[in-house]
Amino acid sequence: MNRIGSVVRLQLVGWPSSLGGAWVLLTLIFLVNLGLFVAIGDIGDMTESGPQTGAVISIYIIMFVGGLTTFTQVFPFALALSVIRRTFYAAFALLLLGQSLVFGLLLTLCKLAEDATGGWGIGMTFFGVGPLNQDNPLLQVVVYAVPFVVLGFLAAFLSISYLRWAMTGMFVLTASSVVVFGGLIVLTTWQDWWGAVWRWITEQPDALLVAGWPLILGALAAGAGYLTIRRVTA
Amino acid sequence: MSTVVDVHDVTRRYGDVTALDQVSFSLAENRIHGLLGRNGAGKTTLMQILTGQNFATSGRLTVFGEPPYENEKVLSRVCFIKESQTYPQHFKVRHALDAARLLFPHWDEEFAATLLADFRLPLGRKIRRLSRGMHSMLGITIGLASRAPLTLFDEPYLGLDAVARHLFYDHLLTDFAAHPRTVVLSTHLIDEVGDLLENVLLLDNGRLLLDTTAEALRGQVVTASGPVTAVDTFAAAAEELHRESLGRYARATLRGSFGPAEHHRARELGLDVEPVSLQDIVIRLTTARARRADTRPDLDTAPGDAGHTTREAAR
């Protein structure tokens, strides 16, 4: 347990350039969006008429890439420093959960500020965009946090598969995704299920769509990542 | 003296390439062991298996009495520094030291600072911007300051100049005397480390050719030079590893047991008997084996060689 703590700290070594960088980038993206909407005079009142941007997704992408580098770069180094795979993975999972929660809280604070300022004075929706918009602050934190967890474990599984099977692994993963998803699309079209599928999706509450069902995917990726990392060699 | 590493019939295969072939040996505690052999001999694979970074296809091994694979108790006492060590892209020199400090229970901060100063390593520089030599110095600093009860160095000084290499030897010996631990040193620069090594393991093509003390080995291999007939007579009782002939004069490298009686006999035959340096012993033993393999195709050497080297290079 003590060792897991050390490995969490190992993964945080140099954090200003990784975690800090993510927030600096998000801030820059936010400012560019704000400047852009002011410049083109797209000013409204935080309803459908006001300016909307999905650029908040950038921090999810940055953290996904962060998850990839944790395993492609920090993991081989940790293994060289006599860390065992199980401990590294446990530390990663712990840090991912903590980090997602903190990020969820920070994003929620930004969202509350966005609401309080009437969309940063110009009615811009940057944080509370689309299905991410929740009225309950607690649920809001969960909705922001869960996608980080899911994407983190997906990144872990992908990069661990790469470490273990290199390009063959990537090819098999891509090929099997094509077969599975392509097959589902063909099946749905053939059976004429699209109407039912869309109806089911629109019936789901936003929170469940963003932070409920994806958890199944996250759990599967987390389990698969754990099983895969056990036999990775340096 | 107790045993730190115990390896039993360990084999590692990659597809149809055998990187390690039924290797068995043990390492005594608090000694400096040399792991010698040519490129692609299996040295790195063996050290990776010892440190749980890789695993054997078959065979058994224990480190500090337990299998090392995924064993936190064992591995927290082990430090393995390899030449090809990569560091995370965003790491500066001080980040690598921060990480090592977190993970090695016996880490000595003061010693690390001394080494950094001696090697003139810039703490604030990005590791990927370090020169080849400085990269090696960082590895050596971590390896020495970790004071791990079992410390393995795999070709630790690529790109190091002679001054830095001797700094490493000096620090290793001084610190080893004050804080005895088990050290495994894999290297090509055999003559430079010859005096450091107490024990020698020689790997060739995945097989263990030698496991002996450096002292015993020096007595085991000699060159005998003189008239061809006398050399022939003397060589009959030993294993001939190598011979150079010039007219009626010959010089043979022989392996056997050479005590006072044998030396006396050589003098009677009119032969000069001389000791052989550790480096020459290793060259003779590995080339003698390759020659035998050429003339006897039933031995496993030839076909595996090419693929083996490629794999090592690919890693």
Q: What is the per-residue DSSP string for A146-164?
A: HHHHHHHHHHHHHHHHHHH
Element (H, E) at B23: strand B17-28
**How far is residue B79's CA from residue B153's CA, in Å, rounded to a whole number?**
8
pLDDT at B4 over 80: yes
Q: pLDDT band for position B297 (50/70/90)?
A: very low
Residues of B in contact with A76 (CB under 8 A): 86
3-state SS assignment for residue B158: coil
Interface contact flag, B48 A233, Cβ < 8 Å: yes
pLDDT score for B308:
39
Residue from the list A14, A82, A234 with its beta carbon closest to the beta carbon of B76: A82
pLDDT score for A48:
65
pLDDT at B45 over 60: yes
Residues in B lying within 8 Å of A, measured between beta carbons = 48, 51-55, 70-72, 75-76, 78-82, 85-92, 95, 98-100, 102-104, 142, 148
Q: Give first-to-last CA distance, chain B, whole Å.
A: 36
The mean pLDDT of A192-215, rounded to a whole number, is: 88
Residue of A nearest to B99 (CA): A10
Q: pLDDT band for position B313 (50/70/90)?
A: very low
**How far is residue A156's CA from residue A74's CA, in Å, rounded to a whole number?**
12
More confident residue, A134 or A183: A183
More confident residue, A128 or A103: A103
Q: What angle do CA A128, A129, A134 make, to 5 degrees?
A: 50
Bridging pattern class, strands B58-63 and B3-14: antiparallel
Q: pLDDT band for position A1 (50/70/90)?
A: low
* Phi, psi (deg, nearest 5) at residue A123: 70, 25
CA distance B232 to chain A (A): 50
Look at A28-42, B185-199, B217-231, B278-292 and tell me which has the smallest mean pLDDT.
B278-292
Q: Which residues contact B71 (CB under 8 A, 6 or more apart)?
A: A84, B52, B63
Q: Is the ipTM of this complex over 0.85?
A: no
Residue of A nearest to B51 (CA): A82
Contacts with B, A 84-103, CB within 8 Å: 84-87
**How far is residue A200's CA from residue A145's CA, in Å, rounded to a whole number?**
24
Look at B94-98, B116-120, B212-216, B224-228 and tell me which has the smallest mean pLDDT.
B212-216
Interface contact flag, B88 A14, Cβ < 8 Å: yes
Residue from the list B80, B81, B95 with its beta carbon closest to the beta carbon of A14: B95
pLDDT one-digit tens code per residue, A88-114: 999 999 999 999 999 999 999 999 999
Residue of B nearest to A11 (CA): B99
pLDDT one-digit tens code per residue, A14-48: 888 878 888 999 999 999 988 888 888 777 777 66
Interface contact flag, A73 B89, Cβ < 8 Å: yes
Residues of A in contact with B48 (CB under 8 A): 233-234
